[in-house]
Structure 1
Amino acid sequence: MTATVKPKGLNIILWVAQGLIALTLIWAGYAKLFQPIEETAQMLPWALENPGLLKFTGIIDLLGGIGIVLPAALRIQPKLTVFAAYGTIALMIAASVFHISRGEESLIGMNIFFLVLAAFVAWGRTKKAPITAK
């Protein structure tokens, strides 16, 4: 078996990207699940219209934020980090479609940014700087 040399700089950039995605998704999940719905509705006006969707997306956000970092950090099933990155891509596409359907096109900039960041993590952790299991 040959050892794969990981570019140190790329590995650091990938960890920063994973951390940024994780912090954002965990913060969003916290806001959707644990803040009073009235406070959340100030940020997300649709929250009062559909509290079930709010809770569902909160759970997805929280799981995605944990999944993008924890498996790689613990080196237990690190391929799950790549799957979390793919899930984040799907989540950002769904969020963009949701915002567009509500006439909120101006809000999808962050969705596109995190989609690109998650694609970078998926590519990097698959091709250039994969993390091996213990």
Structure 2
Amino acid sequence: MNLALWIAAGLLAAVSLGGGLTKTFVPKHKLAAAQGGGWTDDAGVGFVKTLGVLELLAAVGLILPALVGIAPVMVPVTAVCWVLLMIGAMITHGRRGEFVLVGLNVVYLAVAAFIAWGRFAVVPF
């Protein structure tokens, strides 16, 4: 179970890192033109960049605390925060009729919930 939780955290951290780098450093007009990025038309630049920074912090929070043994409780806390982020993403994409992206958000939410459950209850650090 510990290995499965590490794999899940690594995969979710990679997704978070990719999304965070994109939202933080790619101009908003390029994000809006990309597939799945139309939601940025409805959001301000500061909001998009803030989401990007939060995703970068999530990538760090899913791995680093456990890796270095400093405040490892931050791993499941970060996973819970990711669940909340995915709920917001599902609402946003659902309002826009982007149901494929809602499905993807559900998958990410499930992985984050698995990490939170596993690290809080089953195999805590």
Is the TM-score greater than 0.5? yes
**SS in structure 2 at match of 1:68:** helix
Structure 2 equivalent of residue 3 of structure 1: none
Q: 2:124 is matched with which residue: 107, 121, 130?
A: 130
Structure 2 equivalent of residue 119 of structure 1: 113
For the pair 1:90 / 2:81, whether they are aligned, the reply is no
Q: 1:62 is matched with which residue: 56, 63, 82?
A: 56
TM-score by length of 1: 0.84
Question: May I ask how many residue pairs the two structures share in their alignment?
Answer: 122
Q: Following superposition of structure 1 onto structure 2, how do residues 1-134 of structure 1 map, counting pairs within 5 Å? A: 10-43=1-34, 44-50=37-43, 51-131=45-125
**SS in structure 1 at match of 2:117:** helix
Which range moved further: 61-70 or 87-96?
61-70
Query: Who wins on radius of gyration, i.e. which is larger?
Result: 1
Question: Between the two proteins, what is the percent identity of the paired residues?
Answer: 37
User: Could you say what the CA RMSD is over the residues aligned between the two structures, in angstroms?
Assistant: 1.3
- Structure 1: tracts of 5 or more residues without a match: 1-9
Q: Is the 8 A contact 2:61 2:74 kept in 1?
A: yes
Give how far 1:125 is off: 0.8
Distance of 1:54 and 1:81 partners within structure 2: 24
Give how far 1:75 is off: 0.9
- Structure 2: tracts of 5 or more residues without a match: none
